[in-house]
Amino acid sequence: MKRVQSYTAPGIRVTFDPNVCIHSAVCLKSLPAVFDVRRRRWVQPEAASEAEVAAAIDRCPSGALKYVLAGRAEPTTEQPGGESKATIRTSTNGPLLVEGAFELLDESGSRIVSIGRAALCRCGATAKQPFCDGSHQRVGFRSKKSPAA
């Protein structure tokens, strides 16, 4: 497992978990001043407003990027009242996108991760099971249209 990276600027702290990134490049396209892999310190949250950084990270499909605004509590998957709700969405020719309050457990029932967002492999080619690592593009995975409920 690679270590989780942390990048702090006044008013915001950004973390990046390389173990679950699916290399969609959404962050790079959304806010290139902040996210640029050609730089050694590839996340520079001070290069945009906190709101812009937060909005770009909210578009990260895998949950690899997260943020905490100064003075706010750490994000939690607990819903008010203890209610648990998550959605799982198929993506065209790509992973299953999970969002909401959920826990991902391994075969023995141990918790792998408990976060608000994850991209799970459904092509079988990932090297980071159960997470998508972007390999679906390399192998040319083609999804079938899901039947309507």
The Cα 132–Cα 124 span in angstroms is: 9
> What Rg do the C-alpha atoms of the chain give, in angstroms?
16
Binds ligand SF4 (CB under 6 A): choice among 12, 21, 48, 123: 21
Q: Using the rule CB under 6 A, is 24 a contact of ligand SF4?
A: yes
Question: What are the structure tokens assigned to 61, written together?
Answer: 């499909």
Select 12 or 24, whichever has its Cβ closest to ligand FES: 24
Closest CB 26 distance from ligand SF4, rounded Å: 4
The answer to the question of residue 126 lying near ligand FES (CB under 6 A) is yes
The residue count for binding ligand SF4 (CB under 6 A) is 12
Helix (H, G, I), strand (E, B) or coil at 98: strand
Between 64 and 103, how does the x/- string for binding to ligand SF4 read (CB under 6 A)?
A: xx--------------------------------------
Residue 122 identity (one-letter amino acid): R
The CA distance from 120 to 62, in Å, is: 8
In the three-class reduction of DSSP (H, G, I as helix; E, B as strand; rest coil), residue 139 is classed as helix
Q: Which residues bind ligand SF4 (CB under 6 A)?
A: 21-27, 60-62, 64-65
